[in-house]
Structure 1
């Protein structure tokens, strides 16, 4: 488990983050999935180190050791990233969003393009207003985000059950969730103990402060993200 660092933001909140890869490498800010934490980027530590990339993995408000931010918006995130980059001395940096971290990476692409030298999205969560986007989604996720869109407290029972599972036995909880995935994903997790362990650590830490941050994040992902994709004027890489 890597060291945890914190930054006192201008509004008094605490932003927690961890670092991976090569310290002297090119900076890449990693936006974790849902739920997730600063430990999720451990999954790419070895690859980043080999490629000469310095990965900075911040936690969103209410996850892990980052302060909850009442009434926050996805479009608040780029300002937090600029403050973190200023602290670390990164005039320009890259952003990579995975799953529900995708909308946050795109918010940076929309709002602070002059600070970015790379934007990538891996398996990103698209805006959910279009029914075609939701087609084929896992039933549990579809129900979760549909309820969160109405009101975040509607998903409290689901999130409480999830939290109990991960706080009690994180690796076992990952195996339970893997049962809802596709067969190739299940086989991959079954054969890769390192990935299973790191996922468990990340998810357990996400729930450490409770479920308020998780519920808030689900509602934000389920609703309008606050920016138009057409307003992004810099390249965004989405590997297939």
Structure 2
């Protein structure tokens, strides 16, 4: 079910729901660039687990209106608006990659509504103390985030033609990243079905403009608008040790910062392996006890 949702400010968000309409609600927040059509567990998996999965295009992506100057904290207000539109009181939230910070925003700022939260291969706040934010990060991401902090206009000038090229040929993004992909990531994105989902996701994400992507980079480069230490609901952080797009040090930092967080690190996995972890993460989100997913590693 696709629905257009109006925020309190009058902006439009495009949201979609899959799975069992009577099942437990779980929000899935997409990566960067991305859209509500990002990779997700198949309908059969959702019905087996009695889950209704809700996703929406962050502002500037897909069919959602742009929100200039948005922060990570704004994600919580957007998710609340979408939940209201679908008649949902409580729900779980999962965010992958660029959706990870937003999932944590929901946990911190919607404590009466969020039951559990999972952040897969997330970034940590740019101003995180005692974290070398760029350590282990791929050169393309270092350049983008560095430019966002020093010359935002230059970032805009570079991202607009890049997004236009991906709009014409979404496979171009994976081709651009190929030289930085680990062997584990290359194996995962070579799967025909998963690659098709990724390409559909990228095409929809930049369908109208580059601004969703640009505003994400700017939001991740500035203050988030909340402190992860304020989160009180159960949180799972999942990361691949070999990730070069969101380095594992970010999850280790978050695991230390968030009270009681379960941090699961796969030593053989990288960034895109989070897609294969989603079904197990979904199972964890539906539990009522604080049972960890897999083996927790020291952070």
Q: What's the TM-score once normalised by structure 1's chain length?
A: 0.90
Going from structure 1 to structure 2, the CA distance change for 1:227 and 1:151 (only over 3 Å counts) comes to farther
Which range moves more in the overlay, 155-164 or 69-78?
155-164
Check conservation: 2:32, 2:98, Cα contact below 8 A: yes
Aligned counterparts, 1:21-170, within 5 A: 21-40=19-38, 42-46=39-43, 47-130=45-128, 131-170=131-170
Aligned counterparts, 1:178-189, within 5 A: 178-189=178-189
Task: Report the aligned-residue RMSD.
Answer: 1.8
Check conservation: 1:16, 1:65, Cα contact below 8 A: yes
1:151 Cα deviation from its structure 2 partner: 4.1
Distance 1:171 1:51 in 2: 32
Distance 1:202 1:153 in 2: 26
1:84 Cα deviation from its structure 2 partner: 1.4
Distance 2:176 2:214 in 1: 21
| Structure in which a larger fraction of residues adopt helix | 1
1:56 Cα deviation from its structure 2 partner: 0.4
1:160 Cα deviation from its structure 2 partner: 2.8
Runs of 5+ unmatched residues, structure 2: 239-263, 265-299
Which range moves more in the overlay, 90-99 or 75-84?
75-84
Q: What count of residue pairs does the alignment treat as equivalent?
A: 236
Check conservation: 2:5, 2:12, Cα contact below 8 A: yes
Check conservation: 2:108, 2:230, Cα contact below 8 A: yes
Q: What's the TM-score once normalised by structure 2's chain length?
A: 0.74
Q: Which residue number corresponds to residue 223 of structure 1? A: 222
Distance 1:178 1:23 in 2: 38
Check conservation: 1:151, 1:219, Cα contact below 8 A: no
